[in-house]
Amino acid sequence: MALQLLSKINDPADLRKLQPDSFPDLAEELRSFILDVTAVNPGHLGASLGVIELSIALHYLFDTPNDRLIWDVGHQAYAHKILTGRKELFQSLRKLDGISGFPSRSESDYDAFGTGHASTALSAAVGMAVAAGLQGNHSRHHIAVIGDGAITGGMFFEALNQAGAADLNLIIILNDNGIAIDKSAGALKDYLIRQAEKHSSQAFSNPLFEAFGIACNGPVDGHNFAELLPALEAVKAMKGVRLLHVITTKGKGFERAEKDQVRYHAPGTFDRLTGELPKAKPVENRIPLYQEVFGETLLELAKKYPELVGVTPAMPTGSHLLPLLETFPERCFDVGIAEQHALTFSAGLAAEGMLPFCVVYSTFLQRAYDQLIHDVALQNLPVVICVDRAGLVGEDGATHHGVFDLAYLRCIPNLVIAAPMDEKELRHLMFTAAANRKGPFVIRYPRGKTTAMDWKVEPEVVPIGKGRKLSSGSSIAVLSIGHPGNFVKEALEKLAAENIVVSHYDLRFLKPLDEILLKDAFEHHEQIITVEDGVRNGGMGSAVMEWAHENGFGNPVVRLGVPDAFISHGRPEELQYICGFDSNGIVKHIRKLLS
């Protein structure tokens, strides 16, 4: 499609020169441009296609960046990025050294607040609006665009509670498309469906938000400029905290994305004309993902243990809970974007004799730290916490890397913390956790492929705190935990071809540490290297150094992992190389020690 209008827009000032009757054509050009790029450079497709008209309308009517516009969650902000000076950079989306897939304050003045995690925009907007008032600026508008999935997060209601009692120039745009990544779950979804049936561009009764003192407008069709523009103009002219309910369709304008909204949330590469996705081999004919091994093994465990239940905060597809959900729907719970609730809900289940497997992405587990400590660990409840997407996840970048969990988990009493090196070890650890039942058990594993096709081995219950010695060498020992052990294995194979033999220990458990294994490593080797896919500060390497100090060992220890910095976006292998713990980095450090 020729970009006759979009080619002339470099910032919102150019947009405001257009007549509104040209906006439908501009919206089609924006959709086409986003599809052209994301078909070959994968990103979050569906959410951004659903807010094209809303993005145009907001930047047309409001004085951005002076007026503060915050997107919650930020993967719906592609049109916003294109309209605010990043059109020429859009081809670099989510690539190493390219633009972020989420709003980023360091990237543009138009990105008023970084939003990679859900439910945060209203809190930030309230803070900004309060700051503007204290600084004497009462004319600046603060607009928070919040998806219906994101309002299931408790932070939204915490912020709403403060906002409703304050005199602020604050506009809440409720972008209601009935879905987060998976279909929305819970009572709020049903409430919003009832409200959407009252379709009107005029104010109407919205008891939920009016109870907080919020003036409500809508719902309006978010794809119809004839409705959307007047509604936004009316809300803009109002005073105080007000809300506009906008109905949108995720994946709007691309048939496949509208029909299969879950798959086309982030579909990977696809055929630009048909929307068809590359045909995936059946799992039995390829190396599976860790998530697939997890999901199938969880179903196997559920058939063995009738007390087992699965819990996820809005990630049943991503974490591969669908096999459990389809087989035992009454034993699988999607609690919405509510990580804090997910942990304490799981604690309640465990307190009454159930066996909850609470599956949560590493980056989102950060949001439930107090619940993990106070409600699970302190009471020593047998909750199995499955930490998905551990390590450097890649193109989603700093907001989504799961690099802090080893460090922030190991200081918590009562936890068992384990990380499998491969698909077979994941099965063993899941069966071990199900059999343990003496307290909380953490299993962390990365996003992406495992190492082999033959993963359906007979599961074993392994001793708690027992690691493995995988190879024996002379002066150097490498200690690894989790999937990076495969990088060590590859590195040592390269060195073995040069007759350089190095010992390799797979710790398997961070807590408790295998002290017999550590003693063997420190007594029989002059130098130690530790390898992990988490932050070096406070992680596995730090735990090993603490143990060595407490036990009188003075061997030099080199820690490989993520440095003390927020790591940007790029392919996982690129980021692992930059951090220095891929196989090449390990070889380099071993050579350095030997020299």
- What amino acid positions are annotated as catalytic residues? 250, 339, 367
* 581 within 8 A of 487, measured Cβ to Cβ: yes
DSSP labels for 445-494? --SSB-S-S---PPP--PPTT--EEEE--SSEEEEE-STTHHHHHHHHHH
Using H for helix, E for strand and C for coil, what is the string for 293-319? HHHHHHHHHHHHCCCEEEEECCCCCCC
* 315 within 8 A of 181, measured Cβ to Cβ: yes
Q: What are phi and psi of 174, to 5 degrees?
A: -90, 100
Dihedral over Cα of 71, 74, 80, 85: its sign: positive
Question: How many Å apart are CA 169 and CA 139, to the nearest integer?
Answer: 7
- The overall longest dimension of the chain from CA atoms, in Å, is 78
Tell which residue, 156, 148, 84, 91, has the closest CA to residue 120: 156
Question: How many Å apart are CA 236 and CA 214, to the nearest integer?
Answer: 14
CB atoms within 10 A of CB 412: 17
Question: How many Å apart are CA 173 and CA 8, to the nearest integer?
Answer: 28
How do beta strands 468-471 and 503-506 pair? antiparallel
- The alpha carbon of residue 590 and the mean position of all alpha carbons in its chain are separated, in whole angstroms, by 34
Question: How many Å apart are CA 357 and CA 430, to the nearest integer?
Answer: 9
Both tokens of 1, joined, read 């499609």
Question: How many Å apart are CA 68 and CA 457, to the nearest integer?
Answer: 55
Both tokens of 403, joined, read 């690099």
Beta bridge partners of 503: 477
* 322 within 8 A of 295, measured Cβ to Cβ: yes
Instruction: Read off the DSSP letter of residue 211.
Output: T
How do beta strands 509-511 and 416-418 pair? antiparallel
Which spans in 329-472 are helix H? Answer: 339-351, 362-365, 369-370, 405-409, 423-436
Question: How many Å apart are CA 497 and CA 493, to the nearest integer?
Answer: 7
